[in-house]
Amino acid sequence: MANIFSSSIGKKLVMSLSGLFLMLFLLMHLSINFAAVASEEAYNAACHFMDTNIFIQIMVPVLAFGFFIHIVYAAVLTLHNRSARPAKYAVSHKGRAASWASRNMFVLGLIVIGFAAVHLSHFWAEMQLQHFIGSTATDNPYLLVKTTLENPLWAAVYIVWFWVLWFHLTHGFWSALHTIGLNTQKWLPRLRIAATVFATLVAAGYSFIALWFALGFAK
């Protein structure tokens, strides 16, 4: 078993499974964030649910571990690929935009991580982390989101992040499914379409929320 996960194929499998797990989290997080568009009360209630639900409390460290594993294996695979000079990240494929994304997955990932660190230090550290350490979290999470995204600079930073993530997801989504076995010529075009749809849904959804506040629609 150890030899499987230390092999190139095993590393790609771990990379793919951890990536798919993080993609599910993006969808869950997006659905919760849409509560902020509904109303202040809805978003604060959603945050309270996240802070007090035992399942969510268990999933947070699991998510952190998955994120860590994804980063570590990305670095290991990238270093291995650069030393051995095989195809990067997954099999090569046609398509100008997708090829650019596949060639720059590690760089895109580093940018995503950098923005994620800023996001965590600004929101997660002020909300969920305070509950974990037994301190007092912000009384009004909605107000924190509103005051942040009403600032055009912060809104622009987040929107740029979301569309960098779009490039990362357009390759990562289909590559992960390709790695776990959906790799026939019949499925390849479908996976590319599904990857674009998924990435666009995520990036556009998060961008909509940022614009909702930046353009003054929030009450």
| Among the ranges given (4-8, 48-52, 101-105), the one the predictor scored with the smallest mean pLDDT | 4-8
C-alpha to C-alpha distance for 198 and 195, rounded to whole angstroms: 5
C-alpha to C-alpha distance for 37 and 73, rounded to whole angstroms: 36
pLDDT band at 175 (very low <50, low <70, confident <90, very high): confident
0.75 exceeded by pTM = yes
C-alpha to C-alpha distance for 165 and 203, rounded to whole angstroms: 7
155 neighbors 211 (Cβ within 8 angstroms): yes
pLDDT band at 63 (very low <50, low <70, confident <90, very high): confident
pLDDT of residue 99: 60
Output the average pLDDT for the chain: 84
Q: What is the pLDDT of residues 12-21, one digit of tens each?
A: 888 888 999 9
**Which of 82-91, 167-176, 182-191: highest mean pLDDT?**
167-176
Q: Taking residues 33-59, what's their average pLDDT?
A: 90
Q: Taking residues 186-214, what's their average pLDDT?
A: 93
Burial of 101 (0-12, 13-18, 19+ CB in 10 A): buried
Q: Return the percentage of the chain with pLDDT > 90, whole number.
A: 38
pLDDT of residue 95: 44
What are the helix (H) ranges across 120-151? Answer: 128-132, 141-149
**Ordered structural domains, the chain, with CATH:** 2-214 (1.20.1300.10)
C-alpha angle 131/134/138, rounded to 5°? 50
**Top-confidence residue, 210 or 47:** 210
Residue 183, phi then psi, degrees to nearest 5: -125, 25
Q: What are the C-alpha distances in Å from 44 to residues 39, 49, 146?
A: 9, 9, 12
Instruction: Decide if pLDDT at 62 tops 70.
Output: yes
pLDDT of residue 87: 47
Q: Return the percentage of the chain with pLDDT > 70, whole number.
A: 86
- CA nearest neighbour of 191 among 167, 169, 163: 169
In terms of phi and psi (left: phi > 0; alpha: psi -120 to 50; beta: otherwise), the region of 10 is alpha
Helix or strand run (H / E) with residue 20:
helix 8-33
Q: Dihedral sign, CA of 71, 199, 161, 88? A: positive
**Top-confidence residue, 139 or 135:** 139
Residue 166, phi then psi, degrees to nearest 5: -55, -45
pLDDT band at 55 (very low <50, low <70, confident <90, very high): confident
Which residue has 């051995």 as its token pair? 84
Instruction: Decide if pLDDT at 191 tops 80.
Output: yes
Q: What is the pLDDT of residues 150-172, one digit of tens each?
A: 999 999 999 999 999 999 999 88
- Concatenated DSSP letters of 91-125: -----HHHHHHHHTHHHHHHHHHHHHHHHIIIIIT
